[in-house]
Amino acid sequence: MALQTAFTLSPNEIFATIANMIISQQTFADNLGKHQSLVDKARVDGSLYGDRKLYYASDVLNTHAWGGDSEAANLLSLDRPEDPEVQAIVLDTFRQIRLTLDSYLSKRAWSTEGAFASFQDIMTGWMSETKKVYDGTNYNVYIGNTVSNATKATIDIGVAAARGNASTEEEANRLEAGLIAESIANLLVEMGDYNRDFNDYGFLRSYADSDIKIIWNSVWVNKIKKIDLPTIFNKEGLVNKLDEDVLPARYFGRAIAASDKGSGKVINANDEYDNTVGPKIRSKVEFQTTNSSGKKVNHFAGDEIPNGSTIKVGGDFEEADVYIEDNTIMGKVIAGPLPPYMSAFEVGTSFFNPRSLTENRYITFGHNTLSYLKNYPLVTLKAN
């Protein structure tokens, strides 16, 4: 790895053999001002014992015609319920964050004990901050890319046709906002009725408005608030779920399709990503690249993959590890609990190496492979 040039002191203007001294040294601590909070709402407790949580779902029972006295002949008949559906959430993913520090040779780079201690504390703090970034980006990408297997997994909202019926941009904004509001209002009513269409099991369910949440694509919620809403003066009655969770647009995407591949496509004939054509391709997983200076750069889920990367079996990326950013996805509608994020353990350890006078520090943690709960809706709102 190429080394960055060390900072050079300036020679004194009078005494050329003496360098001007450093006035002070400060390490920036305000690096992450905001963490995505969606994953924190989804956390469920794990345990050092066992490796899974089981979720059971059952269907509604039947009614029967009652025959009065004749029912005595059926006294010993059995009416057992159908077997419940069982879903397991398994703790099966383990990661480690590593950091090496020392209090001897590296201390010589600092002018005061305070400046050195500040640097050490901030680097140690980066370990927990790194875990937050990992958790948040992984979870956001999962939410933004997952489509359920329910009958009504996707709700298409025809905003293009609505805007096409307008004679002015202001009218187009009103029609678009009205259609979005109407579509979501209709969806809430439909989800509140008895139905089998919104969960994977096809079990009879109804969902209270208070249990339904919309995770918005920032592109759409900002457009509604900043452009569409002003044309109708207020938001009362427009979109009741407008101020809920919002994720940046980059987290919403779809799987690679056959139409994305070939000459002149975002994945060219050589299976290489061409970022000059079509939408961006982003990673579902954490990965590393090496820049032109030979320095390794870490990327988290949701980051764009490098231009020219091969996307194929045995290539730089497997298709399952990437997605195509899709800003036609307005958001995700979830009723009931968020897809659970279960922690197995989080352990901080360290050891001192007496030969090199260094201290290795580690945070080791585990979590489940992400999966939505099939008993509850996960509906994609999509503009077309």
State in Å, rounded, how far the first CA of the chain is from the last one.
48
Predicted local confidence at residue 1, as pLDDT: 39
The residue among 85, 80, 82, 81 whose CA lies nearest residue 54 is 85
- Could you read off the pLDDT of 27-50 as tens digits, one per residue? 777 777 677 689 999 999 888 889
Query: Same structural domain for residues 138 and 105?
Result: yes
Which residues, in sequence order, are CB contacts of 20 under 8 Å at separation 6+? Answer: 9, 10, 11, 12
Query: Same structural domain for residues 288 and 349?
Result: no
Coil/strand/helix, residue 100: strand
The residue among 268, 267, 245, 270 whose CA lies nearest residue 256 is 267
Query: Same structural domain for residues 359 and 319?
Result: no
Query: Same structural domain for residues 358 and 302?
Result: no
Query: Same structural domain for residues 319 and 358?
Result: no
Cα–Cα distance for residue pair 123/125, rounded to 1 Å: 5
Centre a 10 Å sphere on the Cβ of residue 326 and count the other Cβ atoms it contains.
Answer: 18
Residue 223 inside a domain? The answer is no
The residue among 297, 295, 319, 294 whose CA lies nearest residue 306 is 297
Which residues, in sequence order, are CB contacts of 149 under 8 Å at separation 6+? Answer: 200, 374
Query: Same structural domain for residues 272 and 364?
Result: no
Cα–Cα distance for residue pair 370/373, rounded to 1 Å: 10
The residue among 177, 242, 189, 178 whose CA lies nearest residue 216 is 242
Residue 191 inside a domain? The answer is no
Range of the domain at 359: 38-57+83-144+340-368
Residue 259 inside a domain? The answer is yes
- Could you read off the pLDDT of 46-90 as tens digits, one per residue? 888 899 999 999 999 999 999 999 999 999 999 999 999 999 999
Cα–Cα distance for residue pair 320/157, rounded to 1 Å: 28
- Could you read off the pLDDT of 273-290 as tens digits, one per residue? 999 998 999 999 999 999
Per cent of the chain over pLDDT 90 is: 73
Residue 373 inside a domain? The answer is no
Low-confidence ranges of the chain (pLDDT < 70): 1-5, 33, 36, 226-241
Cα–Cα distance for residue pair 317/287, rounded to 1 Å: 10
Predicted local confidence at residue 183, as pLDDT: 92
Residue type, 175: L
Residue 76 inside a domain? The answer is no
Coil/strand/helix, residue 183: helix
Predicted local confidence at residue 357, as pLDDT: 97
Residue 238 inside a domain? The answer is no
Predicted local confidence at residue 188, as pLDDT: 93
Per cent of the chain over pLDDT 70 is: 94
Instruction: Specify which residues 205 forms β-bridges with.
Output: 195
Domains in the chain, number: 2
Coil/strand/helix, residue 274: coil
Sign of CA dihedral 127, 130, 134, 140: positive
Query: Same structural domain for residues 262 and 288?
Result: yes
- DSSP label of 20: P
Cα–Cα distance for residue pair 232/249, rounded to 1 Å: 25
Sign of CA dihedral 299, 302, 303, 309: positive
Cα–Cα distance for residue pair 32/93, rounded to 1 Å: 25
Residue 214 inside a domain? The answer is no
Residue 359 inside a domain? The answer is yes
3-class SS letters over 56-78: EECCCCCCCCCCHHHHHHHCCCC
